[in-house]
Amino acid sequence: MDSLALDEVHDRIASAAVQSGRVGSDVDLVVVSKQRAETDVLAAYEAGERLFGENRQQGLKTRIESDLPDDIVWHFIGPLQSRKARFVTRHAALLHSFDRYSLVDRWVSADGGPVLVQFNLASESQKTGFDPAMAMEVLDDLVESGIDVRGVMAIPPFANDPESTARWFATLREIFDHYREERTSIDICSMGMSNDYEVAIREGATIIRVGRAIFEGTNNGHDERQAGTT
């Protein structure tokens, strides 16, 4: 891991937060550890990071069974297969990708923990997520079903110019604001990765998910994006 890169990410978080009328500590950093060596994860931990994200059940299982410190807080950030729900809810403090109604029964029966509702903002065929036009209906349905909704998440279309993603982040922020009006327990807006996290913060992100910019010292590329299934 590049410690200077991690410092730079924190500096950029702080700067973007100020531009949105906040401070850096208002934005949580989830270090995306998928496919990274255990030594890299430990280096990030020793640098002060405690929130880490895995996007596959097997990856999370490997981390849990490793010798990594017990006080790491794991988030699950990838698409979830229904049959893996029980394992994920036992070991992850937050599911970022509650993306379809068919997960409801399995998540409830597994005594599932808190989730973020994922939206497919641009209706991209290769991505999952709820229709943003149905946001309030989705919230009501999930809460009535017993799902502990804590916020929202989205991955906007990739753009070479990160600034062009601002409109998508603004859309998710609008949904987030409406959700907060409905329920005081909702306080998480998860958006922004290595390529665009500064834009996301300026648009109101409360959690960002960053891997490549930390481990490879670059803000190019989207290796934090969901890929495959758990």
Summarised one tens digit per residue, pLDDT across range 94-117 is 999 999 999 999 999 999 999 999
Angle of CA points 87, 34, 199, to nearest 5° = 110
User: What pLDDT band is residue 48 in, cutting at 50, 70 and 90?
Assistant: very high
User: What pLDDT band is residue 218 in, cutting at 50, 70 and 90?
Assistant: low
What are the tens digits of pLDDT across the range 143-154?
Answer: 999 999 999 999
> What type of residue sits at position 123?
S
- The C-alpha atoms of residue 204 and residue 189 are separated, in whole angstroms, by 7
Q: Which domain holds residue 112?
A: 3-215
Please enumerate in sequence order all residues whose Cβ is within 8 A of that of 86, keeping only pairs 6 or more positions apart, or say none.
110
The answer to whether position 178 is within a domain reads yes
pTM, full prediction: 0.92
The answer to whether position 191 is within a domain reads yes
Widest CA span in the chain: 46
Q: What pLDDT sits at residue 1?
A: 76
The Cβ of residue 30 has, within 10 Å, a number of other Cβ atoms equal to 24
Asked if 40 contacts 61 with a C-beta cutoff of 8 angstroms, the reply is: no
The answer to whether position 225 is within a domain reads no
What are the tens digits of pLDDT across the range 2-14?
Answer: 789 999 999 999 9
- The C-alpha atoms of residue 222 and residue 71 are separated, in whole angstroms, by 27
> What type of residue sits at position 165?
T
- The C-alpha atoms of residue 196 and residue 155 are separated, in whole angstroms, by 10
The answer to whether position 32 is within a domain reads yes
In the chain, beta strands by DSSP E: 28-32, 51-54, 73-76, 94-98, 115-119, 149-154, 188-190, 207-210
Determine which helix (DSSP H) or strand (DSSP E) holds 220, and give its type and residue range: none
The answer to whether position 223 is within a domain reads no
> What type of residue sits at position 102?
S
Q: How many domains does one find in the chain?
A: 1
The answer to whether position 226 is within a domain reads no
The answer to whether position 221 is within a domain reads no
User: 66: domain CATH number?
Assistant: 3.20.20.10
Q: What percent of the chain has pLDDT over 90?
A: 90
The answer to whether position 113 is within a domain reads yes
- Classify the phi-psi angles of 92: left when phi > 0, otherwise alpha if psi is within -120 to 50, otherwise beta: beta
